[in-house]
């Protein structure tokens, strides 16, 4: 990559970066604090906004200093020192005309294709509250059908028997089944950082229905699934007997834990998914569903 001729010298680029244009956090790339934003016009892409990583970090993509064009899988490489070979040269160049919103003398650099940028999914952040509710729901990247709010027809973990919860209630921001008390998946209130689930029935009555939060992967990737589940304290629900929390990839179990009333569990599961494959977060009532509310916070992230 260093052999590619520059249309604007790296020394001049360095000077431009040092002329009072100090780095600051960029919301689009929170893992890299030492960043600048760039507006540029790229051949074949038109107007784009890029994020520039000025210093090495464990999460930087494409090299010691790289300019990642948001959502287009492109970087503009200004300095090749320490480039980690993830980048491959692309037949495009970009004319940079602002840095952090400040006009600069336009200069041109070459662009490079790199691996997919880090992605993350959070069921609470991706939830669509009333009146924009949908089941299934797209993710923040616009991929359709990523989050689904579901129930089972029995206590058996069989994805072919799962169905979408049919009804939405603004109060509690809840997907539920009319006529089945407390079988739901809900956001509780706009802006809530968590999602709550409640199942129905249990072994005491020899039948039951699981509440299920489902994530259908829009990517082929290795992912980390981390978070926690909490149940109400005993002083709030003294009659509760807890629940069983499971994470399944299709019909294969990845994680299972019996949470006592007033208890909680943290999980950190890593797996490889293909686009269209579904991870199910399953709330099983256990012995009975009395006072078995489960509140979960989680994130699914690519490396």
The pLDDT tens digits for 224-277 are 999 999 998 877 776 667 899 999 999 999 999 999 888 999 999 999 999 999
Residues 110, 77: contact at Cβ < 8 Å? yes
pLDDT at 79: 52
Residues 52, 67: contact at Cβ < 8 Å? yes
Query: CATH 2.60.120 region(s) of the chain?
Result: 120-301
pLDDT at 5: 30
Q: Which of 70, 29, 73, 72 is nearest to 53 (CA)?
A: 29
Highest mean pLDDT pick, 51-60, 92-101, 274-283: 274-283
pLDDT at 159: 97
| Cβ neighbours for 192, distance < 8 A, ≥ 6 positions apart | 124, 173
- Does the pLDDT of residue 188 top 70, yes or no? yes
Phi and psi angles of residue 13, each rounded to the nearest 5 degrees, phi first: -60, -45
| pLDDT band, residue 53 (cuts 50/70/90) | low
Task: Report the pLDDT averaged over residues 38-58.
Answer: 70
pLDDT at 78: 61
Query: Residue 50: how many CB atoms within 10 A of its CB?
Result: 25
pLDDT at 205: 83
End-to-end CA distance of the chain: 25
Residues 257, 244: contact at Cβ < 8 Å? yes
Architecture of domain 120-301: Sandwich (2.60)
Which of 45-49, 76-80, 111-115, 157-161 bottoms out in mean pLDDT, i.e. has the lowest? 76-80
pLDDT at 38: 82
pLDDT at 110: 75
On the question of a cis peptide bond just before residue 136, with omega within 30 degrees of 0, the verdict is: yes
- Does the pLDDT of residue 25 top 60, yes or no? no
Cα 228 to the center of its chain, rounded Å: 16
* 5 secondary structure, DSSP code: P
pLDDT at 99: 82
On the question of a cis peptide bond just before residue 131, with omega within 30 degrees of 0, the verdict is: yes
Query: Residue 12: how many CB atoms within 10 A of its CB?
Result: 12
% of the chain surpassing 90 pLDDT = 46
Query: β-pairing, 74-79 with 88-99?
Result: unpaired
Q: CA 111, CA 113: separation in Å to the nearest integer? A: 7
Residues 229, 296: contact at Cβ < 8 Å? yes
Q: Which has more confidence, 200 or 239? A: 200
Residues 37, 51: contact at Cβ < 8 Å? yes
Residues 260, 174: contact at Cβ < 8 Å? no
């Amino acid at each position: 990559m260093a052999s590619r001729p520059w249309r604007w010298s790296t020394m001049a680029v360095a000077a431009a970066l040092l002329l009072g244009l100090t780095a600051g956090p960029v919301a689009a790339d929170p893992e890299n604090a030492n960043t600048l934003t760039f507006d540029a016009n790229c051949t074949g892409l038109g107007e784009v906004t890029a994020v520039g990583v000025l210093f090495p970090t464990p999460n930087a993509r494409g090299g010691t200093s790289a300019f990642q064009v948001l959502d287009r899988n492109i970087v503009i490489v200004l300095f090749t020192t320490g480039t980690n070979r993830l980048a491959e040269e692309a037949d495009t160049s970009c004319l940079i005309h602002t840095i952090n919103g400040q006009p600069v003398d336009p200069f041109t650099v070459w662009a490079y294709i790199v691996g997919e940028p880090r992605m993350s999914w959070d069921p609470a952040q991706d939830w669509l509250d009333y009146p924009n509710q949908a089941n299934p729901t797209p993710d923040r990247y616009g991929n359709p059908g990523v989050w689904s709010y579901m129930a089972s027809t029995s206590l058996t973990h069989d994805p072919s028997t799962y169905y979408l919860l049919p009804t939405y209630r603004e109060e509690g921001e809840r997907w539920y089944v009319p006529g089945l008390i407390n079988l739901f998946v809900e956001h509780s209130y706009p802006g809530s950082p968590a999602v709550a689930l409640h199942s129905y029935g249990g072994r005491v009555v020899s039948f039951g229905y699981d509440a299920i939060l489902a994530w259908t992967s829009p990517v082929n990737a290795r992912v980390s699934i981390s978070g926690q589940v909490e149940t109400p304290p005993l002083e709030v629900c003294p009659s509760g007997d807890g629940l069983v929390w499971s994470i399944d990839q299709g019909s294969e179990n990845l994680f299972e834990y019996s949470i006592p009333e007033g208890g909680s569990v943290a999980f950190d599961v890593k797996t490889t998914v293909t686009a269209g494959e579904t991870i199910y977060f399953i709330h099983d009532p256990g012995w009975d569903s009395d006072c078995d509310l489960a509140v979960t916070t989680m994130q699914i992230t690519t490396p």
